[in-house]
A and B are shown apart, each in its own frame.
Chain A
Amino acid sequence: MIRSEILQEIAPVLRDQLVICNIGIPSQELHAIDDQPTNFYMLGTMGLASSIGLGLALVQPKPVIVIDGDGSILTNLGTLPTIANNPAPNYILLVIDNGSYGSTGDQPTYTGRKTSLAGMARAAGCERVVECRAEDTGTVLQDALQAGKATVIICKCESGNAKMPVITMDPVTIRDRFMQAVAAD
Chain B
Amino acid sequence: MNIHQRITGDLVAAGIGFVTTVPCKQLAGVIEEVDRHPEILHVPSNKEDEGMGLCAGAWMGGRRSAIIMQNTALGVTINTLATLIQFYRMPLPMLISYRGEPGEPVACQVEMAVHTKALLAQLLIPAYHFHRQEDVEELPKILDYTFMCSKPVAILTDASFWGGY
Contact = CB atoms under 8 A, between A and B. Distances in A.
Nearest to A181: B60
A43 B61 contact: no
Nearest to B18: A59
Interface residues of B, number: 33
B53 interface: yes
A58 B84 contact: no
Contact of B80 (A40, A48, A179): A48
B89 A53 contact: no
Interface string B57-92: 111111101000000000000011011100111100
B83 A78 contact: no
B55 interface: yes
A179 B57 contact: no
A51 B53 contact: yes
Specify the main secondary structure of chain A where it touches its partner: helix
A178 B60 contact: yes
A172 B88 CA distance: 5
Contacts of A109: none
B18 A55 contact: yes
Contacts of A78: 45-47, 50
Given A48-B53, A182-B61, A58 B87 contact: no
A20 interface: yes
B88 A174 contact: yes
A52 B54 contact: yes
Interface stretch (A7-15, A79-87, A156-164): A79-87
B153 interface: no
B57 A20 contact: yes
Given A51-B56, A79-B50, A82-B45, 20 more contacts: A43-B83, A45-B80, A48-B53, A48-B56, A50-B53, A51-B50, A51-B52, A53-B57, A54-B43, A55-B59, A55-B60, A60-B61, A60-B62, A76-B49, A76-B53, A78-B45, A82-B44, A82-B46, A178-B60, A179-B62
Interface of A: 20, 40, 42-45, 47-60, 76, 78-79, 81-82, 86, 171-172, 174-175, 178-179, 182-183
